[in-house]
Amino acid sequence: MIETALENIPFEINDSQFLLSLKLPEGSSEAEEAVQLLKEACSIARPKAVYIEAYIESRTEDAVVIDGQTFNSRLLSINTKSTHRLFPYIATCGIEIEQWAGSITDPLKAYFSDMIMQLALKSAVNGLVKHLTEKRLRGKLSCMNPGALKDWPISEQKKLFSLFTNTVGVKLTDSFLMIPVKSSSGIYFTSDKKFENCELCPRENCPSRRAAYRPDC
């Protein structure tokens, strides 16, 4: 397996876009505070990602084996049936910005900093996707994440992390949650049809929804 770390992902957020995401009018005192925090964060944040170019060693109806680790998920097996190459990954806002945010005690500023960390994670994921897309992969790039759906439990995080020698500073708790909290992990793969976890998630009014709920798919 080939492991690649992306540790120089840029974090540049437009002030107006940031205020729009917070639903704050430009020129207000709250907006000025938010923009000042954003400027501080941009000088500190180091979003990162790491991925492995791996191959499926064997497959059953309910699992795939990667580097000796059996990942138990019927959906993962089905969704990757047209490919043998997978890209397990870890992406994070970075410990630098999390430590910075941890020193903020004001509730409103803490809310702003939490949103900034989320945007830093988004930058890390976007940087990873851009990097993978530049590899000119055949098919549409899709992703599955342990714990996102009942079919692939969050306990499988431990197996996923065992594939890496470098986790770009991300650690697992005993309950398989990630630290920094604004981190993401899973497996990217290519397929003829793009898959989104959202298609099988019934949660209504989710701000992160990327596809309509389709329980029959």
Measured in whole angstroms, how far is the alpha carbon of residue 49 from the centre of its chain? 9
3-state DSSP call for residue 144?
A: strand
Distance CA 161, CA 157 (A): 6
H or E, element range at 70: strand 69-72
Residue 27 has pLDDT above 90, yes or no: no
3-state DSSP call for residue 157?
A: helix
Sign of CA dihedral 134, 137, 143, 145: negative
Global confidence as pTM? 0.87
The pLDDT of 111-128, averaged and rounded, is 96
pLDDT digits (tens, 9 = 90+) for 154-167: 999 999 999 999 99
* Residue 170 · residue 178 · CB < 8 Å: yes
Strand 140-144 and strand 183-191: the pairing is antiparallel
* Residue 63 · residue 152 · CB < 8 Å: no
- Percentage of the residues of the chain whose pLDDT score is greater than 70: 89
pLDDT digits (tens, 9 = 90+) for 58-98: 999 999 999 999 999 999 999 998 888 999 999 999 999 99
Residue type for position 1? M
> How does DSSP assign 170-209, residue by residue?
-EE-TTS-EESSSEEEEEEEEESS---GGGG---TT-TT-
| pLDDT for position 84 | 87
3-state DSSP call for residue 87?
A: strand
Distance CA 217, CA 214 (A): 6
CA-based nearest residue to 117, from 87, 137, 94:
94
Domains of the chain: 2-200 (3.40.109.40)
Distance CA 159, CA 195 (A): 22
Furthest C-alpha separation in the chain: 58
Distance CA 121, CA 201 (A): 22
Distance CA 3, CA 1 (A): 6
